[in-house]
Amino acid sequence: MSETNWLSLVALLMVAVLVVPAALRRNRGVALRNAALWLAVIVALVWIYNSFGPFGGNF
């Protein structure tokens, strides 16, 4: 990993430390549900792209 990648990773972690606690405090009841839904949507889109996109092998 180059120095630029490490600095980007550190910056991302610093932003996450500032944003995540406030987001969880604000949406205490629905944050986990929303995260699970978004994760399911992203996984489905990646699967569809992998199956039918330019790199898919079956069709």
d(CA 48, CA 20): 29
Q: Token digits for 10?
A: 């550190």
Measured at the CA of 45, the angle between CA 42 and CA 51, to 5 degrees, comes to 140
Q: Averaged over 20-28, what is the pLDDT? A: 73
Quick check: 29 pLDDT over 70?
A: no
Do the Cβ atoms of 18 and 25 come closer than 8 Å?
A: no
Confidence of residue 1 (pLDDT cuts 50, 70, 90): low
What does the pLDDT read at residue 51?
79
Q: Do 53 and 46 contact (CB within 8 A), yes or no?
A: no
Predicted local confidence at residue 56, as pLDDT: 55
